[in-house]
Every structure is written in structure tokens, then in C-alpha cells.
Amino acid sequence: MSSVRAKIIGTGHYMPQVVVTNEDFLDWEFYDDKGQKIDKPNEEIIRKFYEITNIRKRRYAADDVLTSDMAADAARMALEDAGIDKEQIDYVIVGSNYGDIQPGTNFTDFVPAIAARVKNKLGIKNPASVAYDIIFGCPGWLEGVIQAHIQMKAGVSRYALVIGAETLSRVRDPYSRDSMIFADGAGAVVLELTNNEKEGILSHLTHSYTTPEAELLSNEKSVKKEHDPSQRYIYMKGHKIYEFALNYVPQAMKACFDASGEDIKDLKKVFIHQANEKMDWAIVKRFFRLYKMPMPSDIMPANIEWMGNSSVATIPTLLDQVLKGEIPGHELKRGDLILLASVGAGMNINAVTMRF
């Protein structure tokens, strides 16, 4: 088997400008899944939401900013951090599930691909720099990393730019409690081919559960029956997703990590999709329980409390923030053994073990 692999040489993220706190939802009308107005004070609804998710704030893109704009800005930062000529990039891969969405609409736009728009905005002229999108739920960015790694092992790529970007604020139902989870953002990494066995991706895993799990995340009418029936919003069966994640993600993470041949005691950090902090903690605790050991207190950096759930953007954003010293109590050094994992619409699960 070829010893070549992908390693991260640059990171960047875009921080949306609009800060929305939990208190900003105090005057909303909330409806349940049956279309009934929830007969509880909003203070109570919001307090319960915080107890479940640990989200206090989230970031939304300004009205003059599109998904591709955020993606391009994050990419510029990653390219600058990597210190390479943008024309050397062989693949521009963007994980996104809704594409560019104009403010005031929820029309998803993937023509041309977000990756093509990003390549255009970066001014990359090289026609051999191939740009394409991945629609893979929240694991889309990590799946892009896996694909870039496979392309490098196949000998068709030396450098890849992998971006996760989303504007979920424009596809959230204005009458659903779940709307408070969603956020916007973009994160990016530059990957380079390496033959050093002490760095880069050591193992990866991807699973898709679609029967009946494909129905757990979808686009549906508003929970308020009187609302415009032509509109569709992101909808999730939260409790079932929680159960699914706890039952399947820890085992997938273990299978991925075991394939690396590394010792679990050497694992420094777990970067997990910022979906719901209570769920994330439960997943990582179960992962370590599979090794009959307690979860280390400093193993899982998190930013969901003030960033919300920005889908494909959460892991690369979190990674960049840790590297820039923006997550208190967490740091990452070259050679550190890390595990990245995500779960989302599909239902898809993926994981990557790497030495940073």
C-alpha cells in the first residue's frame, strides 16, 4: 500500500458578522411538529433549548454575504497560512448543502457549483484545478478531506483546498424551536501530499445509513400550517437523530481509530461536528468507554456555545480557532494525534485519524 497521504498545511475560517443571542428569540412564535402553537413562555422554551444544546449565541451572515463569499474568504486565509501559490491547487472541494441563498429567499443555488464560484473569486486561472461540490450533510467537509486524501494516494493531486460553508440562517423555519440551533460560517484547509509516515491522514471511514435514516433530516413545510406552503425549511427529527448518533457514531470512530494502529492513550484531541454539545459530549464519552477508559477532560474542544451549528463549517472553523489560540484550554502542535468525526443528513457518518 502506498505510504503517501494528505496532511494539513494551512487553515482559515470566516466569522459571520451578525451575532444573534438566545434573547433575540423572546418575541418569536413557536409551534410544535403537529402545527400547534406551544403554550409555554418563550423564556422557558429558550432555557430548555440551552440546557439541551449549550448554545447561547450563533452567527449569521450579513445580507450582502453569500455562502460562496464566506467560503472564498476562509480559503484565502488558508492559502495564506499554507504559503503556497493558489495556482498550484489541484482540487477545490466545497462541502455545502444549500449553496448560495439570496437574503429574503430560501432558494438554493448550485449553478454554477459553489466550488466554481470560489475558484473564480480566488482568481485561480489554472484549468487543471478541478472545482466541485459535495452534498453530504454535515459530514460534507470531512468527506471532502477524505476524497482529497484518496486523490493524493492515487497520484493525481499534490495540493487540495477543502472548504465547508453554509448559510443555514436562510433555510431555518421562523416558527420552529430547532431554528435556534442553526448558524452560518465557513472553514477551510489546504492539504498537501506527504510521504512522511509520521504525519497526515492515517485512517478514514465513511458510512451511509439510508433505510429508514434518510428521513431523519429533510426539507419540509413550516411547522406553522398557515405559513406559505410553497416554502421548504430544514427539518430534523431531533430525538431520533440523538439516538442514532449515540448508537452508531462512537463505534464508527473506534473502527477508524483502530485502523490507524495508534494507541488510544496517545490521542490528543477529538474534533467532532458541533451539532449539539450535549450530544457531542455523550458521543465522545461512549467512544472512550469502548476502550474501557474515562473521557479525558481536555480532549474535546468546542465552540458551539457562541458559534451555533453551521453544519459543514463547524470542524474546520473549530480546528482553525484552536490553532489560533481562540479556544481556551486547547492547543495543537505538529505531530499531535487527532481524530475528526461528523454525523448528519443521509444519515452519514465519517471519521479521520491523523497526525497533525
The domain locations on the chain are: 5-197, 201-355
Closest alpha carbon to 338 in 140, 201, 188: 201
CB atoms within 10 A of CB 90: 19
The torsion region of residue 102 among left (phi > 0), alpha (psi -120 to 50) and beta comes to beta
Q: What are phi and psi of 93, to 5 degrees?
A: -120, 125
Q: For residue 85, what pLDDT is reported?
A: 96
Q: What is the pLDDT of residues 305-340, one digit of tens each?
A: 999 999 999 999 999 999 999 999 999 999 999 999
Q: What is the pLDDT of residues 7-44, one digit of tens each?
A: 999 999 999 999 999 999 999 999 998 889 998 999 99
Average pLDDT on 269-297 reads 96
Average pLDDT on 219-240 reads 89
Q: What is the pLDDT of residues 33-87, one digit of tens each?
A: 888 999 899 999 999 999 999 999 999 999 999 999 999 999 999 999 999 999 9
Q: For residue 3, what pLDDT is reported?
A: 84
5-197, superfamily in CATH?
Answer: Thiolase/Chalcone synthase (3.40.47.10)
pLDDT at 299 over 50: yes
pLDDT at 238 over 90: no
Q: For residue 230, what pLDDT is reported?
A: 83
pLDDT at 1 over 50: no
201-355: same fold as 5-197?
yes
Q: Which residues are CB-neighbours of 13 under 8 A, at least 6 positions away?
A: 74, 77, 185, 186, 187, 188, 313, 316, 317, 320, 321
pLDDT at 2 over 70: no
CB atoms within 10 A of CB 347: 25
What mean pLDDT, rounded, does the chain reach? 95
Q: What is the pLDDT of residues 153-201, one digit of tens each?
A: 999 999 999 999 999 999 999 999 999 999 999 999 999 999 998 899 9
Q: For residue 105, what pLDDT is reported?
A: 85
Average pLDDT on 220-240 reads 90
Q: What is the pLDDT of residues 85-129, one digit of tens each?
A: 999 999 999 999 999 999 988 889 999 999 999 999 999 999 999
Q: For residue 134, what pLDDT is reported?
A: 97
Tell whether pTM > 0.85: yes
Pairing of strands 337-344, 184-194: unpaired
The CATH number that domain 201-355 falls under is 3.40.47.10
Query: Three-state DSSP class for 193?
Result: strand
